[in-house]
């Protein structure tokens, strides 16, 4: 039996890409959890909560719920700011490339997630003519 799409198609929907970036970002944080929290003097619970937020947001992402598109934009921006700042901070206090580079890579990941999530939100709010 063939499944039918029962939801309206949102133009410029990139939620699948955002979902993949969120999961990749969560894996990235989990892999670097011990070194990053120690070097940057952060409590590990902050990173663990970040991983949970990313996974839950990835799970809820869909073109039907407008709320999920807005949440993706907010989460992408928050993580972009966090990792960009941590990359700058690691460079500023000379923590070295093993801390600086992963944070900058994560910032670029969330920059792309921000772009795609904003593009999805725009596609859901602006009518095509």
Instruction: Report the distance separating Cα 39 and Cα 88, nearest Å.
Output: 14
pLDDT beyond 50 at 6: no
pLDDT beyond 90 at 22: yes
**Boundaries of every domain in the chain:** 15-125
| DSSP track, the chain | ------SPPPTT--HHHHHHHHHHHHHHHHHTHHHHHHHTT--HHHHHHHHHHHHHHHHH--SS-HHHHHHHHHHHHHHHHHHHHHHHHHHHTT--HHHHHHHHHHHHHHHHHHHHHHHHHHHHHSPP-
The encoded tokens of residue 58 equal 């990835």
Instruction: Report the distance separating Cα 101 and Cα 33, nearest Å.
Output: 14
Confidence band for 53, pLDDT divided at 50, 70 and 90 = very high
Give the predicted TM-score (pTM) of the model.
0.84
pLDDT of residue 60: 93
């Amino acid at each position: 039996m063939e499944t039918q799409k029962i939801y309206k198609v949102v133009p410029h929907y990139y939620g699948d890409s955002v979902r993949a970036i969120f999961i990749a970002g969560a894996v990235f944080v989990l892999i670097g959890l011990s070194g990053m929290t120690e070097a940057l003097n952060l409590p590990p619970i902050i990173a663990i909560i970040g991983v949970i937020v990313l996974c839950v947001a990835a799970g809820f992402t869909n073109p039907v719920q407008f709320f999920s598109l807005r949440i993706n934009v907010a989460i992408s921006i928050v993580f972009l700011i966090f990792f960009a700042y941590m990359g700058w901070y690691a460079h500023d206090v000379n923590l070295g490339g093993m801390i600086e580079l992963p944070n900058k890579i994560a910032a670029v990941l969330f920059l792309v997630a921000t772009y795609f999530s904003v593009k999805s939100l725009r596609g859901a709010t602006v009518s095509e003519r």
